[in-house]
Structure 1
Amino acid sequence: MTTWPVVVRRVEPHLPLLLAAAVAAATWASATGGLGVRSPLPTVVVLLFALATGASVLSPRRWVLPAAAAACWLTLAAWAAVVVASWRAGTGLRGGQLAAYLLGTFPVLLAGMAIGGAVGGERRLVVATPGNALMFYASLVVAPALAGLWIGARRDALAALTDRAERLEREQEARADRVRVQERARIAREMHDVVAHRVSLMVVHAGALEVTNADPATVETAALIRSTGRAALTDLREVLGVLRQEPPLPLPGRDAVGDLVRESRAAGLRVGLTDEVTPGPVPGAVARTVHRVVQEGLTNVRKHAPDAAVAVRVRQLPEGIEVSVRNDPSDRDGPVLPGSGLGLVGLRERVELTGGRLSAGPTPDGGFVLYALVPAGEAT
């Protein structure tokens, strides 16, 4: 059970090359009669179409593969390219784009009937009848597209579950951190209210005893008690300062933001990071707010535009730290993962509590940008 995901992760980077090789081999077998009807065209044409199909599998543009598949079908009745194109359409297209592909392939099969009727011979028996055309449409187009839809749905569901598990883990860690901070603050208050008060009374009484008593030994003992109590109060202040101090957070743009970008890249996003923060200490509230802005921006990109390029920029300005998460337009019709729409509301409240401002909205080219300016000082 544990080896299958490892195999999938190792094979997935080489999947386009494997598909290109499979399409080329199957097209060759189909055109030479090994898996279909022998084509009357010269062998060099078969090779050219096989190579074109393989190159189209490697191409990131979605129209190249269906075009090569249509050419291979009309010219050679080669089924391999059609199957791969339909499978890729099912995994990568949604809504109107997928419907346009399914409707566009049927005229191609009808054109194959006409070409088969013109060519005649054995080829006519394979593709030139309406029954065979419907059978080919169901087996070469609809079935691979449905398989691709199933795979895409499982992939989206897995991404949603992974995102939910990561969110729950982050919320649990944040809840544990809040509980620890609250407990440290409670201990500090108890120590200040009880211990510091008692030690202060001891120092006051020792000082009074030192002033009012005439016995040299008693005066010396009272002075020792007073000095020891004052030293204890100094040590107690240091301990209270440690208890009240929150754990240090990584600086934005170096550790926290960089980790977010690396995690998003590992999840498949194309994220670029521009870090222009001046080296130096950053207040904890500012660091947490910057980290939260980048986290929310990348989460929204994963939900709504996982196929778009993303640019994250963190810049030091005189009035504070500027953060922007901008993504290019997406080819998808709707969000990949569901969202409540409350993330930006809470983020805006967090930024405004620090005295900053936040804006979010579409860009002129159809993308989306999340922008925040966080003052460098701690909020009061």
Structure 2
Amino acid sequence: MRFVLLGGGVFALSLLVVQGQAGVPSDLPLPVLVVLSAATGVATWWVPRSWWPLAAVGAVGYAWLVMWPPLVISSYYAGLTLSRSRGIVAYLGGCLIVCGISAVVGACQDGLREVMTTNPGNALVMALAMIGLPVAVGLYVRAKREVLAAARERAERLEREQVLRAEQARAQERARIAREMHDVVAHRVSLIVLHAGALEVRTDDDEAVRVAALIGGIGREALANLRDVLGVLRSPRSPDREGALRPPPTLTDLDRLLDQSRSLGITVTRHDEGEVRPVETTVERTAYRVVQEALTNVHKHAGDAGTDVRIRYGPDVLEVEVRNDAPGAPREELPGAGWGLVGLRERVELLGGTLRTSAEDGGGFLVRARIPA
């Protein structure tokens, strides 16, 4: 659209110049002038593809009728696109030839046409205004564009380098964390599994055998999960690694989690309310983690307190509620980082949900999550 408007403007200005300029041959009818002016408009519209047709029309129009508008536009695009040495010199040389032809044609006529083209001062002013100045403007615009393009390329290159450095730093930090987890956590859990297996083989107490088998199973499951986490840390974008990962637990695995707590002597009751239906996998995973963290806190701080787990299916929300009674007999205090509920709240809020934790009047504790489903 921009070049359509520019072509229309050049057509109108060219027609105005050749109609109002003295010295135009009287034998040229108006339709001829309109056709010539229309040719300059069409050539201007074609400039984005090639500006040489406009230069040719401008040369003919200026040499014949001193029609300068197309020559101005073509000179600007010559400075904008031609190389700064040989191409510019060749174009300016061609323009000098056109000006010479125009002077010869003007010398054959009288009036203003002769004064404009044959007088050295007037010819120099016309050449500078219609050719030199547009070429200089085109050169300036091109130089400015090149500077901006170079600055943009440099900024993009620096941004890419910064991203690569950040990715490298993240990869190094992930590798460091993976090494620490493997050397410390995995080693300790492996020792737990080995000792549980030895206890299971050597003892004659049925209850001790059952507990040792439970500890060993939980330890092996923890090692498998830890192995998956270490794989993600070391190669988070590997397709092979993604295919080998175990799917994270969902609500279908909740009963197994509750059975593990029951085997430790805690009375855990599950209640499903509302119309039980499958929900999004991420929602089910988050709900599972809510119950898991709440039961972990019960083990740490509430001894063998009875616990109720409620899964409430609403029309557009899934509610998870874990409520335990007043703490029973104190157990050995287990070490913890203190970030369990903080991370759990972040996990729930990422899905647009809310997490509420509060102490109950009777001494119990409540964990309640509302997750859009």
Q: Same fold (TM over 0.5)?
A: yes
Residues 1:142 and 2:127 are matched in the alignment: no
The one-letter amino acid paired with 1:66 is: A
What secondary structure is seen at the aligned counterpart in 2 of 1:193? helix
> The residue matched to 2:108 in structure 1 has which SS?
helix
Residue number among 38, 43, 55 corresponding to 1:66 in the alignment:
55
C-alpha separation in 1, matches of 2:106 and 2:125:
15
Residue 106 of structure 1 corresponds to 96
**Which of residues 22, 26, 37 in structure 2 aligns to 1:37?**
22
Alignment match, 2:44: 57
CA distance in 2, matches of 1:23, 1:38: 21
Aligned partner of residue 237 in structure 2, secondary structure: coil
Deviation at residue 100 of structure 1 after TM alignment: 0.6
Task: Give the SS at the match of 1:152.
Answer: helix
Say what the alpha-carbon RMSD is for the aligned residues. Answer: 1.9
Question: Structure 2 vs 1, CA of residues 183 and 17 (structure 1 numbering), >3 Å: closer, same or farther?
Answer: same
Q: 1:222 to 1:182 in 2, by over 3 A?
A: same
Q: Deviation digits for residues 34-75 of structure 1, max 9, x if unmatched? A: xx4362332222111111111222332342111100111112
In structure 1, what is the Cα distance between the partners aligned to 2:193 and 2:227? 15
Q: Deviations over 1:239-295 (max 9, x none)?
A: 22222233369xxxxxxxxxxxxxxxxxxxxxxxxxxxxxxxxxxxxxxxxxxxxxx
Q: TM-score, normalised to structure 2's length?
A: 0.59
CA distance in 2, matches of 1:226, 1:248: 31
For each residue in 1:103-142, what CA deviation from the matched residue of structure 2 results, as whole angstroms up to 9, or x when unmatched? 1101110111111010222211121212222111111111
Query: Could you tell me whether the CA contact under 8 Å between 2:44 and 2:70 is conserved in 1?
Result: no
Distance of 1:235 and 1:222 partners within structure 2: 20
The structure with more radius of gyration: 2
Give the 3 Å change call, closer, same or farther, for CA 203–248 of structure 1 in structure 2: closer
Q: Quick check: 1:210–1:223 contact (8 Å CA) kept in 2?
A: yes
Once the two structures are superposed, what CA deviation does each residue of 1:15-48 show, in whole Å capped at 9, x if it has no partner? 3222211211111111121xx4362332222111
Q: Write out aligned runs for 1:124-163 (5 A).
A: 124-163=114-153
Aligned to 1:24: 11
Q: Which amino acid aligns with 2:75?
A: S
Partner of 1:89: 78
Instruction: Confirm whether residue 182 of structure 1 aligns to residue 172 of structure 2.
Output: yes
The question of whether the paired residues in 1 share the 8 Å contact of 2:18 and 2:65 is answered with yes
- What secondary structure is seen at the aligned counterpart in 2 of 1:39? coil
CA contact (8 A) 2:77 2:135 kept: yes
1:290-339 deviation per Cα after TM superposition (whole angstroms, max 9, x unaligned) = xxxxxxxxxxxxxxxxxxxxxxxxxxxxxxxxxxxxxxxxxxxxxxxxxx
Residues 30 and 38 in structure 1, CA contact (< 8 A), matched pair in contact too? no
Mapped pair 1:223 → 2:208? no
Secondary structure, counterpart of 2:153 in structure 1: helix
The amino acid across from 1:136 in the alignment is M
Aligned residues between the structures = 234
Structure 1: distance between partners of 2:238 and 2:219 = 31
- Report the identity percentage: 44
Take 1:43 and 1:246, find their aligned partners in 2: how far apart are those partners? 76
Conserved 8 A contact 1:32-1:38:
no
For 1:224 and 1:85, the matched residues in 2 are separated by 87
Is the 1:91–1:145 contact (alpha carbons within 8 Å) kept by the matching residues of 2? yes
Taking the aligned partners of 1:68 and 1:37, their CA distance within structure 2 comes to 21
The answer (yes or no) to whether the contact 2:23–2:110 under 8 Å persists in 1 is: no
Deviation at 1:102, TM superposition (A): 0.9
The alignment partner of 1:160 has SS state of: helix
The 1:248/1:174 distance shift into structure 2, 3 A limit, reads: farther
Partners of 1:114 and 1:184 in 2: CA distance: 81
Identify if the C-alpha distance between structure 1 residues 92 and 226 changes in structure 2 by more than 3 Å, giving closer, same or farther. Answer: same
Segment drifting more, 158-167 vs 102-111: 158-167
Read off the aligned partner of 1:25 and give its amino acid letter. Answer: A
Structure 2, unmatched stretches of 5+, are: 240-373
What letter matches 2:19 in structure 1?
Answer: T
> Counterparts of 2:40 and 2:111 in 1: how far apart (Å)?
26
Paired with 1:88 and 1:111, the residues of 2 have a C-alpha distance of 22
| 8 Å contact from structure 2 (residues 78, 91) kept in 1 | yes
Structure 1: which 5+ residue stretches go unaligned?
A: 1-13, 250-380
Q: 1:248 to 1:89 in 2, by over 3 A?
A: farther
Letter in 2 for 1:190: E
CA contact (8 A) 2:51 2:74 kept: no
CA contact (8 A) 1:181 1:246 kept: no
CA contact (8 A) 2:80 2:138 kept: yes
Residue identity matched to 2:38:
L
